[in-house]
């Protein structure tokens, strides 16, 4: 009865189980890895390409996830939340991109380099991941946000390189995503005729 | 005396509860469908943990009672069954919730 009186919790749980397949982690992880890679090879002009994995999210969801767990259409409120997440992520991504391009463009002149620039960078990523966590209900994205701040804060003690820290962070997110995806695939096999039997 | 009678009436109202919804598996299906616009057969099966046959049988009863709408569609070459609560089902589910809450508050 308690659960019945709190239908929002049921909706949240359904959405969580729909989104918790590791794909979001893989996409975000790849995005971070590619961004780190382009920074590392100092090809900031290609930074826009780092967002390409996002384009694969829906096709992979349709081909790999939906045949295993089924499809669902959420309420208008939930859809609004999803579209605002996407919009905020895109805006945050664009800000991050501009920040990076600007930073690398003027790096030689040291116009924008400040002692705590790497922390600002970590914070920007943390904000992006927090938004994803807020609207997808996947709480581990908050952990990624904390990890981002931590890694970029102690960056100088570990590798002393923003691109390498970015690569490490992306790899952690990506590998976590792979683990969740494998777990999902094992627990939700496609068996013959299961797609529709009613 | 009057209070006792009214309390008794409130408790007796449990007999008017919709038994089609009251069955645990169907209640679970109704609750899931209430919070989404629509879901396919596989999704509800995964979430409820019911077997194909069991779910199918409960869905037929809910459909016969006019509580849910079942639509069969082809997504590409794959046939899919989409389930959603009918307007009547939505109202009945809300009534059921109210009646149960009222009953439980009074016992």
Which range marks the domain in which residue B90 is found? 20-98
Closest CA of chain A from B79, distance in Å: 6
What is the Cα–Cα distance from A7 to A10, expressed in whole angstroms? 5
ipTM, interface predicted TM-score of the complex: 0.78
Partners of B47 on chain A (C-beta within 8 Å) are 14, 17
Q: Give the mean model confidence (pLDDT) for residues A5-34.
A: 87
CATH of the domain at B45: 1.10.10.10
* B3 inside domain: no
Chain B residues contacting A, CB < 8 Å? 27, 31-32, 34-47, 52, 55-56, 59, 70, 72, 75, 78-81, 97, 100-101, 104
Residue A5 has pLDDT above 60, yes or no: no
**Which parts of chain B sit beneath pLDDT 50?**
none
Instruction: Compute and round to an integer the Cα radius of gyration of chain B.
Output: 17
Q: Give the mean model confidence (pLDDT) for residues A29-51.
A: 83
Nearest to B42 among A5, A10, A70 (CB): A70
For chain B, the domain total comes to: 1
SS3 B69: strand
Nearest to B56 among A17, A73, A198 (CB): A198
Closest CA of chain B from A59, distance in Å: 14
Closest CA of chain B from A127, distance in Å: 29
Two tokens, residue A106: 């003027």
- B82-100 tens-digit pLDDT: 999 999 999 999 999 888 8
What is the Cα–Cα distance from A148 to A75, expressed in whole angstroms? 32
- A156-171 tens-digit pLDDT: 777 778 888 889 999 9
- Model pLDDT, residue A109: 45
Partners of A17 on chain B (C-beta within 8 Å) are 46-47
* B46 inside domain: yes
What is the Cα–Cα distance from B72 to A140, expressed in whole angstroms? 37
Annotated domain spans of chain A: 11-44+81-185
Model-level pTM? 0.76
CB spacing of B43 vs A71 below 8 angstroms: yes
Q: Is B21 left (phi over 0), alpha (psi -120 to 50) or beta?
A: alpha
């Amino acid at each position: 009865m308690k659960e019945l009186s709190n239908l929002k919790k049921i909706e949240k749980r359904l959405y969580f189980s729909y989104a918790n397949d590791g794909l979001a982690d893989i996409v975000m992880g790849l995005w971070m890895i590619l961004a780190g890679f382009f920074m590392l090879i100092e090809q900031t002009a290609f930074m826009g390409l780092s967002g390409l994995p996002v384009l694969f999210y829906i096709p992979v969801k349709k081909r790999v996830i939906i045949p295993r767990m089924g499809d669902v259409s959420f309420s208008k409120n939930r859809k609004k939340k999803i579209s605002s997440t996407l919009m905020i992520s895109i805006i945050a991504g664009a800000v991050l991109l501009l920040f990076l391009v600007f930073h690398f463009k003027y790096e030689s002149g040291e116009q924008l380099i400040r002692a705590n620039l790497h922390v600002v960078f970590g914070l920007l990523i943390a904000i992006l991941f927090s938004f994803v966590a807020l609207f997808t209900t996947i709480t581990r994205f908050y952990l990624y946000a904390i990890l981002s701040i931590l890694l970029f804060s102690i960056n100088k003690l570990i590798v002393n390189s923003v691109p390498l820290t970015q690569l490490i962070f992306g790899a952690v997110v990506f590998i976590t995503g792979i683990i969740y995806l494998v777990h999902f695939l094992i627990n939700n096999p496609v068996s013959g005729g299961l797609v529709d039997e009613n | 005396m009057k209070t006792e009678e009214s309390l008794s009436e409130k408790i007796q109202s449990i007999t008017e509860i919709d038994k089609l919804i009251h069955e645990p598996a169907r209640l679970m299906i109704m609750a899931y469908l209430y919070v989404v616009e629509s879901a396919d057969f596989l999704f509800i099966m995964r979430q409820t943990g019911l077997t194909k046959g069991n779910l199918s049988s409960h869905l037929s009863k809910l459909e016969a009672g006019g509580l849910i709408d079942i639509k069969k569609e082809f997504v590409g070459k794959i046939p899919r069954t989409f389930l959603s609560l009918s307007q009547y089902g939505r109202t009945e589910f809300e009534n059921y919730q109210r009646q149960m809450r009222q009953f439980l508050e009074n016992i």
